[in-house]
Amino acid sequence: VNNPAQADLDGDGVGDSCDAQTCGNGALELGELCDDGNAIGGDGCSVACEVEAFSGVFDSVQVIDNGDGTYTYDFIIDGISAIEIENNVGLINLLGVSAAYLDDGFKVALSVGNLTLTASTKSITLPSKQMLCVVDDPSFVAADQLGDLSCWTNPNRVTWSPAGGNTCDVPGVPIQAKDKDGNWLPQYACEQFIDGGNPYSKMSSFDHTTAMGVDDMDGDGYSAGEDCDDTDSSVYPGAPELCNGLDNDCDGSVADDGADEAWYNQSTSCGVGECASTGALTCQGGVQVDTCSAGSPTGSDADCDGLDQNCNGVADDAYVPTATSCGVGECASTGQLICVAGSLQDTCSAGTPEEEICDDMDNDCDGQSDEGVQQSFYRDADGDGYGNAAMPVQACSTPEGYVENDGDCNDGNAGVHPGAAEVCGNGVDEDCNGSDLVCNDVTPPVITCPAPIQVSLLCGGVPASNPAIQSFLNSATAVDDIDGTIPVANNSPGVFLTGLTIVTFTATDSSSNTSTCQSSVRVAYAYGGLLPPINASGSSIFKIGRAIPVKFRLYCSGTTPVGTAAAALSVFKITDTVTGTVLEVETVPVGEANTGNLFRYDPVEQQYIYNWSTQGLTQGTYKLRITLDDGTIHDTNLSLEEK
């Protein structure tokens, strides 16, 4: 029967209470205890439109220390943080101050009466009663006094009508509630509980979905009957399809998940070189996914083709250069075969040819060395400095055994060559002038005398057989232009006595041409040097005014004293500076000084002595010179200084 006063949400002309049951259409139809407009369980109304219980009781109370002497008390209902009270310590009157939204958008106001908050133990003593008031009004905020709860006066409230009044303090007494349209809701049982000695009440069942009506719970502009998820404001018919795994546009499919994202289906790229690929941004399982997949390397990149086969971003980076060479002679060079932009390039660059010079090198880079610039040299087998014209070689410098001159007429005889001494009448052309010399010799030989020598006196004289004298006598030479080298004679005595002996050397060629020369042999005493007090090194210093004994010894045959020599003393001042370093004190009185300049021989001391007077001399350094009758001179320095 058509009842205009009855709701007809589906517009079929039959009232909802009489209509056939269609669970999930948002209308409370025949036999349904609830219908929240969706076929999802766990939200207060099951998939069979049966009421799911909501305890309406505190699960727990969490006390949070704010660190400043205050605390926050967080009341948890069915796992939801429903009420928070801050900065209250002591006995307070708890109100339904804040509330959590339930699945269908209703707000729960809790009135629990008086609470005792204990800061020292962070504990809460629960009151003896709890009352719940469900309001279908998202903007509702509960008042802060139990007796002033606006829940009871809110026009959108779900009214409670418990038997016996507005309290629920008698266990088992049923209560009834009406929705905002005045429709009676199923009864609820009110039970009393004891927790830690403190009684409290709770509703054993509570239908918080029947008063939903056609409200838009998530505020997205679509009511529960139109919205496929009225708890999510991003889900409604025609909504942009986001990449979240949800059916945002309520078309019954998530195949187009993310299709309305700005980045959806944008082109992407990945990989480098031969691994480069493309793809697109898509949405899979509510997550952005890039379909680009880089390829695999196609090679080691050791060739030179301009491709990056090993996919490291650099083409041909594994190519190994090989050594190359170019040019010849002095133009020869080396390089490498390298890879440049996918092409092989040889870095070898030959040098520049230059004018050929004679240096054993190929200067003009034609593969030949020193062509046209070499000099002729000739074999000199006999080493006389002249070569055989029949045995030439070409070279830049003189090879060993070769010479530049090719005029030798007999390279097997070192005495035959241009400029050699010609021997007349021997049938040999020594000077290579083409003929032998006819003998007509009027030229004396060239004689060479030895240098003068000095030898030590042997007692009785030095015999001519003495090795030093023999070497002296035999070193004279003579060469004749006809006879060549000829013997040399001398007038050496059998014994050389003290002093200087002149020796005459004579050479006579086969034509009786004669040449002479002279040299000398000096036979000298063995001089033992000055004796103390004079230091032979020249470091002595004496005081002026005394007589200084000048003494020395002479020997023959090395160690035999000689007392027959004649010796004279000469003194020269050489500087006014005292150069000596050792002060000598051995002197004799000036009255014992000798006159003249000749030494006397002391046979007892076997020494020659002369007392030299320094009377009247000035400070400085003097040279003492002893001249012997063998012609030798012996000098020694000494210094005189003022007393």
pLDDT at 370: 82
Please give the pLDDT value at position 534. 95
Q: Measured at the alpha carbon of residue 374, what is the angle toward residues 373 and 376, in degrees to the nearest 5? A: 140
Look-up: residue for tokens 């060469």? 479
Dist. CA 316–CA 596, nearest whole Å: 111
pLDDT of residue 197: 37
CATH of span 526-641: 2.60.40.1930
Contact 595, 579 (CB under 8 A): no
Residue for token pair 């060739």: 303
DSSP 3-state assignment of 426? Answer: coil
**Topology, domain 446-524:** Immunoglobulin-like (2.60.40)
What DSSP element (H or E) covers 624? strand 620-628
Q: What does each C-alpha distance from 64 to 49, 73, 119, 123, 455 come to in angstroms? A: 40, 6, 10, 11, 130
Q: What is the pTM of this model?
A: 0.36
Cα three-residue angle 242-243-247, rounded to 5 degrees: 60
Q: How far is it, in rounded angstroms, from Cα 342 to Cα 304?
A: 5
Neighbour-count burial of 456, counting CB atoms closer than 10 A to its CB (0-12 exposed, 13-18 middle, 19+ buried): middle
- Please tell me whether residue 316 adopts helix, strand or coil conformation: coil
Among the listed residues 204, 143, 134, the one whose alpha carbon sits nearest the alpha carbon of residue 168: 204
Residue ranges in the chain whose pLDDT is less than 50: 1, 43, 53-59, 77-215
Where exactly does CATH 2.60.40.10 map onto the chain?
A: 446-524
Q: Are 322 and 336 in contact (CB under 8 A)?
A: yes
Residue in the block written with tokens 């101050």:
97
Between the alpha carbon of residue 223 and those of residues 89, 104, 211, 217, the distances in Å are 43, 11, 14, 7
Q: What's the Cα-to-Cα distance from 497 to each of 455, 519, 632, rounded to whole Å?
A: 10, 16, 14
Q: What pLDDT, on a 0 to 100 scale, did the predictor assign at position 51? A: 55
- Positions of CATH 2.60.40.1930 in the chain: 526-641
Whole-number Cα distances in Å, 580 to 546, 551, 587: 17, 19, 17
pLDDT score of 348: 92
> How confident is the model at residue 25, as a pLDDT?
76
What does R_g of the chain's alpha carbons equal in angstroms?
72
* pLDDT for the residue numbered 48: 74
The pLDDT of residue 469:
96
495, 462 in Cβ contact below 8 A? yes
- Residue-level pLDDT at 122: 39
- Per DSSP, the three-state class of 153 is coil
Whether the CB-CB separation of 538 and 522 falls below 8 Å is answered with no
CB atoms within 10 A of CB 28: 25
| Residues contacting residue 563 through CB under 8 Å, at least 6 positions apart | 601, 603, 606
